Amino acid sequence: MNEQIQNAYEILTQKIGQSESPSDWFEITQERINIFAEATLDDQWIHVNPEQARAGPFGTTIAHGDLTLSIMNQLPREQQLSIYRVEGMKHMLNYGFDRVRFPAPVLVGTRIRAHSTLKRVEFKKGMLEIMVEVSVEAEGMPKPCCVAENLFLLVF
């Protein structure tokens, strides 16, 4: 086994369970929701029709769950790049998700931020696979709006 990968494994396993500082706040605007709806062909009224959504269950439009999921890794991006950067690593690839949940909606105009916690480090075909639990909170909401177990491959 490559010595760099072994050293990286030892360094990262010591960080398992550690939570990092939350990202900066990021506002979810109606314009961003509309652009996402257009790009994904998901123009359901609860996302893009403020007048109809006023009479809906949340009193306003809400972000797509997939919009929150799509941008959650961009919120703590600088943190992730520095937290998991280890000697000899060439790059980090997004490998997918083990589990994703949307416990609460993101109302238009809400600010969100992400919290990241390293959950797992494993050897995988000459690379390291890490699982980072990312919890996205909406300002003023008691429950997170997205919790996902995000997988990354660290390439050496």
* Cβ–Cβ under 8 Å, residues 54 and 82: no
- Taken in order of first residue, the domains within the chain and their CATH numbers are 3-155 (3.10.129.10)
- Phi and psi angles of residue 146, each rounded to the nearest 5 degrees, phi first: -155, 135
Tens digit of pLDDT for each residue in 12-54?
A: 999 999 888 889 999 999 999 999 999 999 999 999 999 999 9
Is the pLDDT at 89 greater than 80, yes or no?
yes
* Cβ–Cβ under 8 Å, residues 136 and 105: no
Is the pLDDT at 81 greater than 60, yes or no?
no
